[in-house]
Amino acid sequence: MTMTESRLTTSRYLSGNFAPIETEVEAFDLRVRGEIPLELTGRLLRIGPNPVTAPDPATYHWFTGSGMVHGLRLRDGKAQWYKNKFVRSDGVSEAKGWPITEGPRHGMSDGTANTNVIGYAGKTYAIVEAGGLPVELSYDLDTLRMSNFDATLPGSFTAHPKRDPFTGELHAMVYYFEWDYLQYVVVGVDGRVRKTLNVPVPGKPMLHDCSITESQVVVMDLPVTFDLEAAMSGRSLPYSWDPEYGARVGLLPRSAADGNETVWCELPELCYVYHPLNSYDLPDGRVVCDVVKHPKMFDTDKYGPFEGIPVLARWTIDPATARVHEEVLDDRGQEFPRMDERLIGQKNRFGYGASFGEGIEHGPALKHDLERGTTEVHEYGSGRVTLEPVFVPRHDDAAEDDGWIMSYVYDATTDSSDVVILNAQDFTGEPLAVISLPQRVPFGFHGNWVPDEE
Ligand SMILES: [Fe+2]
């Protein structure tokens, strides 16, 4: 048997509910069990990888599939529509024979955007890290154009900008494999970049997300780095576990004029983090940063994000000693941490997440009470598992957990999907509403509730 013949013929990331769907669907007046809160007027958007052509299962990386966006529009207590559309990267346009999407390109990216979908400054964007530009979508999720924010973005962008609840601005940490720095980017409320700052680093780390406090940007510099050998061999996501690189976290003052003002603090052990939950300043100058922490990444599995159970941990970062104290807050396997985003950068009491067990087994939703040190678990029923849960406040002045948890839920017993709305203050109680979707929504990455006024 040759090496080629002995390689995998199936991929976990192309099987079951990871498998792509082929069709774009529009459905109207969807069936609802229960009652959709009348306050909810907008779209619950979600995105994930959905390869437009069948990839080689032996080399397919979950993070690299073409983007497909899903949306559910709610109004007047009704589920008005569900739509799903490919994000029209050059690869998608070529495969489908569709016109090439207008707008700029960056680096080697073909415009694939598959990781997050946001509303900002009156527009809808599919976004991604590692080189691709934001892709502007219409309200109905059609691809309009690639965007570099009116030519104000010098390089690439991220899938995880953080919106400052006071200023409304987006704060992002950005990377690209040709750069020997990370780049801090601030997008103003006019949708144009108003500040960039390069933060030198000793290698080329993968940086998925960032976190902000009132005064600082929390910058992760962790041991998953660009792997030239893997790139030369054609691996689609050439980043590998690199324990020699070390693990540290930086505090970059938001007011900094130079990226070298970053204060780097060593982490007590190697790890990888995709997603912080939140960060905030302490009065003595330390910073608390809660994260979902993986023991390592892309060491034995080069094609997806599982190298052991990811847990919720708290970093207390002390710039005076350049050290970080770490404690595990909850050792259940979990990912996709979310919160009430009105408290980004402030001390939050509650956090939410999706179960993420052995082999990326999806499951119930979690609600953490960080003040009491307790966690509630919402089970969606036999065979039913949640994708990323999104918190939506009841109104602008509502208490921190006064609102709803909305998520796309997959039912393996019927191979179908629903959107489920929970009362966040009655987390383990019966759902308020279950909205039936016309097709399953594959496991993927992120999404947001985008109210119509945004
Ligand atoms: Fe993410």
384 Cα–ligand 1 center, Å: 22
Q: Of 227, 86, 64, 55, which Cα lies nearest the Cα of 132? A: 64
35 Cα–ligand 1 center, Å: 30
Contact 309, 297 (CB under 8 A): no
Contact 400, 347 (CB under 8 A): no
159 Cα–ligand 1 center, Å: 7
334 Cα–ligand 1 center, Å: 13
206 Cα–ligand 1 center, Å: 12
In Å, what is the CA distance from 32 to each residue of 41, 78, 387, 428, 453? 16, 8, 19, 20, 24
Q: Of 397, 279, 298, which Cα lies nearest the Cα of 342? A: 397
Count CB-CB contacts under 10 A for residue 161: 25
Q: Which residues of the chain have pLDDT under 70?
A: 1-9, 454
176 Cα–ligand 1 center, Å: 16
208 Cα–ligand 1 center, Å: 6
313 Cα–ligand 1 center, Å: 17
Give φ, ψ of 333 to 5 degrees. Answer: -65, 125
pLDDT on residue 454: 63
pLDDT on residue 9: 66
pLDDT on residue 10: 82
192 Cα–ligand 1 center, Å: 23
317 Cα–ligand 1 center, Å: 22
264 Cα–ligand 1 center, Å: 23
In this structure, which amino acid lies at residue 341?
Answer: E
277 Cα–ligand 1 center, Å: 11
Express each pLDDT in 396-432 by its tens digit. 999 999 999 999 999 999 999 999 999 999 999 999 9
Q: What strands lie across the sheet with 263-266, from one edge to the other? A: 211-212, 216-221, 248-253, 263-266, 323-330, 311-318, 287-294, 272-281
64 Cα–ligand 1 center, Å: 13
385 Cα–ligand 1 center, Å: 19
- Distance from C-alpha of 201 to C-alpha of 423, rounded to nearest angstrom: 44
Query: Helix or strand or coil: residue 197?
Result: strand
115 Cα–ligand 1 center, Å: 6
Contact 142, 68 (CB under 8 A): no
209 Cα–ligand 1 center, Å: 7
274 Cα–ligand 1 center, Å: 6
Model confidence, pTM: 0.96
74 Cα–ligand 1 center, Å: 25
309 Cα–ligand 1 center, Å: 17
- Distance from C-alpha of 203 to C-alpha of 217, rounded to nearest angstrom: 20
Express each pLDDT in 368-380 by its tens digit. 999 999 999 999 9
pLDDT on residue 84: 98
pLDDT on residue 2: 38
pLDDT on residue 7: 44
pLDDT on residue 8: 55
63 Cα–ligand 1 center, Å: 10
